[in-house]
Amino acid sequence: MKTLTLLRHAKSGGADDPGLLDVDRPLNNKGFRAAERMGRHLAELNLHFDAVIASPARRVAETLQAVSAGYGSPLDATFDRRLYLASPDTLIEVAREQQAERVLLVGHNPGLEELILTLVSPNAGSLREEVAAKYPTASVAEMTFSGDWADVAPGTASLTRFVRPRDLDPTLGPDAV
């Protein structure tokens, strides 16, 4: 059984700074808090990853640093330019290249959300419906697959977990500061 876990980068700032490239946008304070809390949650669940592949964007690298702080050990990532604002097709391509059993992809929306909606059958239930409603920053989704990574295709995944920061701490919800 292969496991693909998706982590959307945490809340970032700098979008209103015309001199700052999108790839260079940093996390804001709420983003750091949410990412660290999500890291603690991953540790509480005793989740482990054999491979971590991440977008090279600054907000992704800072998300990984904060998640690692909460997790209690580094999540050493391979940074892959293809994950920066990647489409679901590109994310599937990256998944199909994997050799590890448990892979964590760290990146951006809308690609991550669309990947889940592509790989998980539309009649899969309430978790998929929650993802379809909104896949917020610093959220984690976990999918499992039978077979090999090369077999990853639309409708082949089971969505086994979807956790938003607000599920762990209401102050990390959309209306909280």
CB environment 6-16: b (16+ within 10 A), e (fewer) = bbbbbbbebee
Q: Examine the pLDDT at 12 and tell me if it is beyond 90.
A: yes
pLDDT tens digits, residue range 55-71?
Answer: 999 999 999 999 999 99
What is the pLDDT, as a whole number, of residue 6? 98
Ranges of beta strands (E only) in 93-174 are: 102-107, 140-145, 158-163
For residue 131, the surrounding DSSP H or E stretch is helix 126-133
pLDDT digits (tens, 9 = 90+) for 95-134: 999 999 999 999 999 999 999 999 999 888 899 999 999 9
CB 31 within 8 A of CB 10: yes
Residue 138 has pLDDT above 60, yes or no: yes
CATH code linked to domain 2-145+155-169? 3.40.50.1240
pTM score of the predicted model: 0.96
Cα–Cα distance, 166 to 153 (Å, whole number): 30
Residue range 132-153: mean pLDDT, rounded? 96
